[in-house]
Amino acid sequence: MKIGKIVEVIGVKVKAIIYEKMPPHLINNISIISAPQINTYVKTRIGLNTIICQIVGEYLKLDNKESKEIGYFVELEVKGRMQNRNFLGGLRLLPFVDADVETLQQEDYEILFSKPEFAITIGTNLFDDFNKITLDINKLIPSHIGIFGNTGSGKSNTMAKILKEYLEVVKVYPNRVNSKILIFDLNNEYGNDAICSYLDKKIYNLTTRNDTGDKIPFKYDKITAEDWGIILNATEKRLS
């Protein structure tokens, strides 16, 4: 659906006029889509290229003398472009003035929020609950990640959701995804039936106060000479 056009491009700042203010959701070809509003996505075109933008601001321009509306404008931030059914992030292309602004179709959302073969679903878009947010576990799990936020903002729940969904993938593809998870839980947030059933996990109660606590099983006979070298080097660095 064509909903407006680009009226200004200054540097990387893009502004568009929207033909009319709309309700929160629109129906297009029997599909429900989000109307243009803060944090939703729209697209524009340059030749054969499709540019994806996110709405980051909006305002109503008025004629102060006659007290009537001149137009409804939105500020856009370029997120990337579509190429060969792939989404490429970055500012390689910017819109042209007078180019049409359109809503995204379902296939656009599927490309923008692409779902790889080994994917986990962690929720829905906060500003567009018709689109689920998925993560590629082959990129997520082997990497270094951090979850940051204020107390009570949902860090523990987010981690639990990621690990729970990951374990579900491991169950479905046991021959293709082989993994074990070791969690050091200082605040006892993931005990009992958290993440997975209590029967599917082994809980070790560790302590440094005495020698009666549980020990994490470790097969020293499986460590190679190279592994021992790495361990000794790391120990020397910590002692120094």
In this predicted model, what pLDDT tens digit does every residue of 8-41 receive, in sequence order? 999 899 999 998 877 666 666 666 666 778 888 8
pLDDT at 30: 62
What would the two tokens of residue 82 be?
């579509």
pLDDT at 203: 87
Model confidence at 85, in pLDDT bands (50, 70, 90)?
Answer: confident
Q: What mean pLDDT value characterizes the chain?
A: 82
| Residue-level pLDDT at 97 | 94
Q: Is 227 domain-assigned?
A: yes
* Domain closes at, from 89, 112, 135: 112
Residue 89 structural domain: 1-112
pLDDT tens by residue, 180-239: 788 888 888 888 888 888 888 888 888 888 888 888 787 777 777 777 777 777 667 666
Query: Tell me, what's the pLDDT at 201?
Result: 86
Tell me what pLDDT residue 130 has.
64
**226 part of a folded domain:** yes
In a domain, 139, yes or no: no
Q: Please indicate, yes or no, if residue 222 is contained in any of the structural domains.
A: yes
pLDDT for the residue numbered 177: 67
Domain contains 58: yes
Average pLDDT over residues 82-89: 85
Domain annotation covers residue 60: yes
pLDDT of 44 strictly over 80: yes
Q: Specify whether 106 is located in the same domain as 206.
A: no
Kindly state whether residue 87 falls inside one of the protein's structural domains: yes
Number of domains, the chain: 2
pLDDT at 140: 82
State the pLDDT at residue 8.
Answer: 93
Residues 4 and 103 in one domain: yes
